[in-house]
Amino acid sequence: MTMNSAARSRRWQIAAVLLAGLLGNLPASVAHAAGDTVPADFNGDGYRDVVLRVPGADVAGQEDAGAVIVLYGSPSGLSAASRAVVTQNSPGVPGAAERGDYFGASTASADLDRDGYADLVVGAPYEDLAEGADKGMVTILWGSRSGLTSGRTLPISGGLSFDRVGRDVAAVGKGSSATSSVTVGAWNDTRTFRGTFTRSSLPAPSAPGYVGWFGSVTAGDVDRDGLADTVAVTGRAGGHTGGLVHVNPENAGGFGESLDRGDALVATVGDVNGDGYGDIVAGDPDEPAQRGVDGERGGRILIWYGSANGVPTDATPVTLSQDSPGVPGAGEAGDEFGGSVVVADFNRDGVGDIVVGSPGEKLGTVAGAGMVTFIPGTRSGVPGANSASYSQETSGVPGSSEVDDAFGTTVSAGDVNRDGRVDLLVTGHGENNYAGAAWILPGGTTRPTGTGSKIFTGSQFGLSGSGWQLLGGDALPLL
């Protein structure tokens, strides 16, 4: 099959960055999103469903058209047999599968119209539109008793950089539909859509929030005012090894508030000290120019605590690395600790716990095998005590560590079998020659466990067993 020039260029960009990382010129991967999509109940059966992004999937002969796979939760957890594969050729989905669209490059879930069914937001950043090539598109797929069977595209146009729309997306649905929101990241800006969402009408977007070279977006309530705050992280810019972290970038003349102290590439929001305010947990996987100033050897995470006044721009974040007390391992160049992050209450103590992906972690002699680290939240002091790590070498976790598997590319969490325990979802975009894979680690009494873990690969879904499917999503931003 012959690639068109756009698809060939994008695949070459990915290969070039990975090769450069192996040669030591660039990091082996660049974090694209904080984590995989939070499991949500799309068909209203009471069980949370898992979304696997497959942006490199070939659809009806169209290379890199992209797809998303929904694995339906059940009393026995997840099964490859209980699934739906959604593409732009699926009934009710706007558009059509075309080469290089990368439908599924980004996803987010929330019950936007508050009808009891979670909805799925899907980015296709290379969608060609009437305005030009690679403008990008974002689609809301509405949940229903039959799953995701219909959708609408978000109205986005114009602005400083109407380009690569859907590089990342975030969604929040709580209270009424009037307080729901969707945030979309494009090449150099973000747009936030704030309620009311219905199947017949969508809210207008905010004015653009200009964040520069774009990295990722997330959302959560950091000041407990009942409305979600947008957190947008730039890519590397302005001499920073990581990017700048902006809060509500559509405010303050379109530039929002940039947090002064700390670089990052990804972020998530969760309450990690149990005070009821959402905290910003950001991943900074880059190697520092000055250790302790703009990063830590092997990567780090940063925590900005929320409050009634939000997060002050001059607040000093708490920083954790693999050299912090209680955190397993040691900071080594290229670990990429902080390449992905998620917050969830695994031990059910009312405080959010942090899971950090280190997709570049070397295990023994296996470079780039990847690892994830569980760090319990705490109501006082600095997190780190009782932390634990997981990899394909952990007892019960299927597979074995191979060069550049990148276990920990993305992480997410949710209870998929309704046993009251939070399960951990981990992806590795490099597994099987970049076909990608996903693992589900069951929730345990106090933390995830390898016992009973499952692995999902492309061949289980009728996809190619190896090469550039990127099952579970890619850590690289789609340039």
Q: Give me the pLDDT at residue 20, please.
A: 31
Give the pLDDT of residue 62: 94
Q: Tell me how far apart the alpha carbons of residues 159 and 394 are, in angstroms, rounded to a whole number.
A: 48
Q: 467-478: per-residue pLDDT in tens? A: 788 888 875 444
pLDDT digits (tens, 9 = 90+) for 295-352: 899 999 999 999 999 999 889 999 999 999 999 999 999 999 999 999 999 999 999 9
pLDDT of residue 17: 33
Quote the pLDDT of residue 339: 93
Of 5, 11, 3, 129, residue with least CA distance to 61: 3
| Spans of the chain, pLDDT less than 50 | 1-33, 160, 476-479
> Domain ranges in the chain?
36-212
CATH homologous superfamily of 36-212: Integrin alpha, N-terminal (2.130.10.130)
Cα gap 451→397, rounded to integer Å: 7
The confidence score (pLDDT) of residue 176 equals 85
Q: Which pair of tokens denotes residue 212?
A: 């520069």
Residue 137 identity: M
Q: How far apart are the first and last CA of the chain?
A: 23
Whole-angstrom distance, CA of residue 432 vs CA of residue 145? 35
Token readout for 31 is 């974090």
Task: Tell me the backbone φ, ψ of residue 344, rounded to 5 degrees.
Answer: -160, 155
Q: What does the pLDDT read at residue 238?
A: 61
235 φ, ψ (degrees, to nearest 5): -80, -170
> What percent of the chain has a predicted confidence (pLDDT) above 70?
87
Residue 170's SS3 state is strand
